[in-house]
Amino acid sequence: MHPKRRTYSKSFKAQVVQECAEPGASITNIAQGYSLNANLLHKWIRLHTQETNAIQPAFIPLHTEVLNAGSLAQPSSICLEIQHPRTPVNMNGHDPYTYLKDVLTRLPTHRASKLHDLLPHVWSA
């Protein structure tokens, strides 16, 4: 006769997964601390990541501020700053529509080793 499998509540799983996400956390040590198999804990982390990613929106709205509400004229150029985890990307002097249209058109077939060419400070139409 096989022993009955243990079951764990969602809140318990979430708590343990959260502990694993802490900087410097050892999944093996955390698993041992709760008398869990490390592979089971890895599975919980994988499932949690999939659930979290499924909740993320596919499109993130961009909020802009109107600098001069009295003027309907389009600016000839703007400064676009994109926050990136490693470094901010600044775009000065380019028409944003032309730049984004060109980059989004070229991106699917552009070689990964040449992605640097698509950065705003290097890009040319």
Q: Which pLDDT does position 26 carry in this prediction?
A: 94
pLDDT in tens, 12-41: 999 999 999 999 999 999 999 999 999 999
pTM of the predicted structure, to 2 decimals: 0.44
Q: Is the confidence at residue 106, as pLDDT, over 80? A: yes
Contact 30, 20 (CB under 8 A): yes
Q: Kindly list the domain boundaries of the chain, sorted by start residue.
A: 10-55, 80-118
Q: Which pLDDT does position 4 carry in this prediction?
A: 84
Q: Which pLDDT does position 71 carry in this prediction?
A: 56
Nearest to 27 by CA among 15, 19, 7: 19
Q: Locate 80 and state its tokens.
A: 């676009």
Nearest to 100 by CA among 83, 125, 70, 63: 125
